[in-house]
Amino acid sequence: MRCPHCGAEDNHVVDSRMTEDGGAVRRRRHCRACDQRFTTYERAEQSGILVRKRDASLEPYERQKVLDGMRRALGSDVDGGTVRAAAERVEARLRQLGRRQVPSSAVGGEVLEALRSLSPPAAIRFASVHKQFTSVEDFRRELELAGEGEIPDATLRELADAPEPSDPGPP
């Protein structure tokens, strides 16, 4: 990042905070060459897809978040290029739905599908960690597909940390 005052590249971040709407990170930088300060904003690249969460709130689809989740689930079993390609396929499928808003469960479902083809245990890990994305049914299916057979409900609840507390829903 070049200093807008003198053009030097030797600067460092002195303060970093989220903007009020949470959509960007604002950084104050200090230029070591001219001793002046300037501000930069960092925003997520927009895919144009909005994810509808369980509480009905919307947030922009973040490919980095999906990629990180897949990487964590896969561990070092699968190389980075393969994970990125799989994450791109997830996004492409979501686009094919042709809707601007997709439920978070659809994102979770596509991720599970992609992970299952790479590593069934990773799909289970993802389903167990991302309960906000997936349902207990998804989780049960992953375990069954992985050959764990029928899972007793008690075990499932323990593993999946139970279904979401009952949603009061619209009045």
Interface residue list for Zn ion (CB under 5 A): 3, 5-6, 8, 31, 33-34
Tokens of 13: 């971040």
Distance from chain centroid for Cα 50: 12
Smallest distance, Zn ion to C-beta of residue 29, A: 9
Smallest distance, Zn ion to C-beta of residue 42, A: 20
Between 31 and 87, whose beta carbon lies closer to Zn ion?
A: 31
Between 11 and 105, whose beta carbon lies closer to Zn ion?
A: 11
Q: Is 80 exposed, middle or buried (0-12, 13-18, 19+ CB in 10 A)?
A: exposed
Smallest distance, Zn ion to C-beta of residue 5, A: 4
Between 33 and 145, whose beta carbon lies closer to Zn ion?
A: 33
Q: Is 26 exposed, middle or buried (0-12, 13-18, 19+ CB in 10 A)?
A: middle
Between 3 and 90, whose beta carbon lies closer to Zn ion?
A: 3
Helix (H) or strand (E) run with residue 81 in it: helix 80-96
Smallest distance, Zn ion to C-beta of residue 87, A: 38
Neighbouring C-beta atoms of residue 127, cutoff 10 Å: 28
